[in-house]
Structure 1
């Protein structure tokens, strides 16, 4: 088996192994229980009934977004998730709460994720009821105005088949990369010169073809073997020159008088 064939087998094996591993991981993720997320968007606004000049100042403050970010921090507090879990009589880890301020707006997006659509909607209602009251108290004279509520929908973006397919492809790519690294390390460890490995520019370039120094001359010989072969070539040249001198063809280059 040539080194090129061996490298191809290594890469193929690691690619298949990576694809199988990725598919297994994707299957495990696909079998995980479904999660559902309910989302609400609330607005932070100045309290009603303010004089026009004060209202304009408050809107200017809101445009700086600090108040909105503070509102998002209030809505994202873990205490509301714990309260919702108790109301649903489920473990606190079952309810996942998040909140974020929408850039360049006075809006805050609040999301609650649970194991079912009904419980997700119920948990969101509990969070909004408690967090909105607290936020209006802390942020006064600003108040919270509920803008929109989006009913629960599955939190998983891809179908099980898509998840397995993507995981298998990712595993195959990783496996192929590992195979290439292993092949490169193996070549370096054997001390194979790239030119010699490909049979380019070396005596006996056809693989397995004996070179001019005998049957032991194979492609891929190490530096010491090449130096030995070079010494043999120089010795052969000197013997040839000595033969011409003995035959009366004049003194050989580099040869003194006998």
Structure 2
């Protein structure tokens, strides 16, 4: 009986662990099966323009350090109006591209990012945006210029997690959850089996006398006989 129950327990744990593993693999496939996105990024520095006299450069640096000029330039660089030319240059629909720009706090640096469905498209589209917008952004901000610190140049990165890591992590998680569920179910099954065995043993041995019945029987056996009254004739 115990060996049969142990075999069933092992089988249940194995089955549920396998189900959990498959569920984790399917979940990983669903996550990684979505359209992969790539991000290209460039960093620009805003500097005083060449027309600024050297003896006044410190004043313009003070203006730059306040951040208003770089924030204004970032707004211009991140405007979606540059996406029409970028999409035409990259040969993709405009809806495939996502443009963003922002000024880094306490610096004169601006980051510009472009998202697309391939690394090459993201790089080409971002280069198009920088070419079209840099002069306009610098002019709007005042007597400043924008210089490239880092450019895309084929450096677009995938935004999706690594496929093997995703499959491994979710597969192991599903395996662990399935095995844990199998152990819980098998433990509950063993508990029910043990209770049924105890009930069967009690029914075969008959009812067990209660403590009250035992006490009454003891008193009956040791009771003193009642005195017999003698009648005088």
Aligned to 1:254: none
Separation in structure 2 between the aligned mates of residue 125 and residue 178 of structure 1, nearest angstrom: 49
Separation in structure 2 between the aligned mates of residue 38 and residue 249 of structure 1, nearest angstrom: 104
Residues 1:210 and 2:210 aligned together: no
Structure 2 unaligned residues grouped into runs of 5+: 225-233
Residues 28-87 of structure 1 show CA distances to partners (whole Å, capped at 9, x for unaligned) of: 35xx57x65543221112233434564323322322334323322321222212331134
Shift, 1:247, TM fit: 0.9
Partners of 2:87 and 2:97 within 8 A in 1 = yes
Compare CA radii of gyration and give the structure with the larger one.
2
Separation in structure 1 between the aligned mates of residue 179 and residue 159 of structure 2, nearest angstrom: 32
Alignment TM-score, normalising by the size of structure 1:
0.62
Give the alignment partner of residue 18 of structure 1, picking from 11, 16, 23: 23
Separation in structure 2 between the aligned mates of residue 73 and residue 7 of structure 1, nearest angstrom: 60
Q: Structure 1 residues 3-12 or 99-108, which shifts more?
A: 3-12
Aligned to 2:169: 169
Partners of 2:38 and 2:118 within 8 A in 1 = yes
Partners of 2:45 and 2:146 within 8 A in 1 = yes
Residues 97-134 of structure 1 show CA distances to partners (whole Å, capped at 9, x for unaligned) of: 23233343211122334455654443223211222122
Partners of 1:85 and 1:92 within 8 A in 2 = yes
Structure 1 segment 1-258 matched on structure 2, within 5 A? 1=5, 8=13, 11-25=16-30, 28-29=33-34, 37-51=39-53, 54-115=56-117, 119-156=121-158, 162-173=162-173, 176-177=176-177, 197=191, 209-210=197-198, 214-215=202-203, 236-248=210-222
Q: 1:97 to 1:175 in 2, by over 3 A?
A: farther
Separation in structure 2 between the aligned mates of residue 90 and residue 157 of structure 1, nearest angstrom: 19
Structure 1 unaligned residues grouped into runs of 5+: 200-205, 218-231, 251-258
Separation in structure 1 between the aligned mates of residue 171 and residue 32 of structure 2, nearest angstrom: 13
Q: Secondary structure, in 3 states, of the residue corresponding to 1:67?
A: helix
Q: 1:99 to 1:175 in 2, by over 3 A?
A: farther
Separation in structure 2 between the aligned mates of residue 216 and residue 51 of structure 1, nearest angstrom: 110
Separation in structure 2 between the aligned mates of residue 47 and residue 154 of structure 1, nearest angstrom: 30
Partners of 2:96 and 2:116 within 8 A in 1 = yes
Number of corresponding residues: 216
> Over the residues paired in the alignment, what is the CA RMSD in angstroms?
4.2
Alignment TM-score, normalising by the size of structure 2:
0.68
Q: Structure 1 residues 207-216 or 85-94, which shifts more?
A: 207-216
Shift, 1:237, TM fit: 0.9
Higher helix share: 2
